[in-house]
Chain A
Amino acid sequence: SQQGEEDPQALSIQEGENATMNCSYKTSINNLQWYRQNSGRGLVHLILIRSNEREKHSGRLRVTLDTSKKSSSLLITASRAADTASYFCATDTSGSRLTFGEGTQLTVNP
């Protein structure tokens, strides 16, 4: 079963705009991670935020975590065509697995 649910399922924006993706989950977590996937193959880790953290930044990425609402958001600023990919949130609830959502398909138009 999927722990995380991403919203929206698909997002299309113009280069230079910001992209925001949201993730909601059901049970308490140890940490939450965001991954990117191109063309349905290998996933690339983007950022990890622990349950006691509220916000993290990495380059053009900003992640927030609200454990009271069981939700997280990923913001990509000044998007580029190369950011076009699927983005997944994954939660660590048990220390033995990451549970992924169904992803947001981001398209950045040049």
Chain B
Amino acid sequence: GAGVSQTPSNKVTEKGKYVELRCDPISGHTALYWYRQSLGQGPEFLIYFQGTGAADDSGLPNDRFFAVRPEGSVSTLKIQRTERGDSAVYLCASSRYGTATEAFFGQGTRLTVV
């Protein structure tokens, strides 16, 4: 596709459940980022992939959060035992060469934990 695609666009889940959020980056982009944005705030960094490896996962809030990018393209953000405080918009972005170049963002997944 022409842009970064995120699915689903909205997800409602019950507290304690497991969720997976998917990101399809722009073809050829080696860098992929996950951010989380709460209402009225700026995006908060979660994790950065360069190729298949997580080059910086220091933004993941705790061990309930995990992300993979097994073939260096599609990435999945996994959240275990969801809590109401996890409710936010999860944004994925990709760039051709990392932070020295512009990042292209997807439309985000709005996660609501009830």
Residues of A within 8 A of B (CB): 2, 4, 30-31, 33, 35, 40-45, 48, 88, 92, 94-103
Contacts and interface: CB of A to CB of B under 8 A. Distances in A.
Contact of B89 (A33, A35, A41, A103): A41
B99 A43 contact: no
B98 A95 contact: yes
B33 to A, nearest CB: 7
Contact of B105 (A2, A43, A92): A43
A45 B104 contact: yes
A66 B104 CA distance: 26
A88 B42 contact: yes
B27 to A, nearest CB: 18
Nearest to B56: A96
Contacts of B37: 40
Contact of B103 (A4, A45, A102): A45
19 contacts: A33-B103, A41-B107, A42-B4, A42-B106, A43-B43, A45-B102, A45-B103, A45-B104, A88-B42, A92-B99, A92-B100, A94-B56, A96-B99, A97-B56, A98-B103, A99-B45, A100-B43, A102-B41, A102-B42
Nearest to A6: B42
A47 B40 CA distance: 22
Contact of B45 (A41, A98, A102): A98
B108 interface: yes
Nearest to B31: A96
B76 to A, nearest CB: 19
